[in-house]
Amino acid sequence: MSSHRPFGLPFAAAAAALLLGAAGCSSTDAKASVPVPSPPAEEAAFCRALAKVLPDTVAGLERTDPEPDSELTAGWGDAAIVLRCGVPRPEKMNDPQAHAVEADGVNWLLEERQGDGPRFTTTYRKAYVEVTLDERYAHDVGPLADLAGPVAGTVPPSL
């Protein structure tokens, strides 16, 4: 008569490995958290229109929106690229030495951030749209090209 032990050491080792693997993966499932802007009603309407046309991918990264869920925020690549619409006018726009870039007809204020990638905010639009990039994009405005069309099509110029 043979002894049959269905839950022997190999099973316990496999179960432990599975649990450790699941625990290790759970932290990557957490979404990034960003502050949600609170713009005036007119600006919020432009932001809601923008939210409806944002692309599924930016710079080859899949859309992964941050928490809390809002029509005023969007993200791609687990917060590698984060968009917030309806942010206040950046103080840096008052600086005559401020740097700006243009991507497909949309002008953006460039702000360098210590220890991170750049932050861009639209200029001359009826709502300010902010895009932050992680350090991978420190010298790359390519993601702005993917966002310029939707911004230009939904947030009118302020001039």
**Does residue 56 carry a pLDDT above 60?**
yes
Checking if the pLDDT of 101 tops 90, the result is yes
Minimum mean pLDDT range among 7-16, 95-104, 111-120, 147-156 = 7-16
- What pLDDT score does 53 carry? 98
pLDDT level of residue 139 (50, 70, 90 thresholds): confident
Amino acid at 138: A
pLDDT of 16? 33
For the entire predicted model, the pTM comes to 0.80
The pLDDT assigned to 18 comes to 31
State the average pLDDT over residues 35-55: 97
Mean pLDDT, the chain, whole residue set: 84
User: Two tokens at 70?
Assistant: 């809002």
Instruction: Give me the pLDDT at residue 31, please.
Output: 64
Looking at residue 149, its pLDDT comes to 97
Three-class SS state of 35: coil
Predicted confidence at residue 27, as pLDDT, reads 36
58-66 CB contacts, 8 Å cutoff, 24+ apart? 58/143, 58/146, 58/147, 59/137, 59/140, 59/142, 59/143, 59/146, 64/31, 64/32, 65/31, 66/31, 66/32, 66/33, 66/34
Mean pLDDT of 76-80: 94
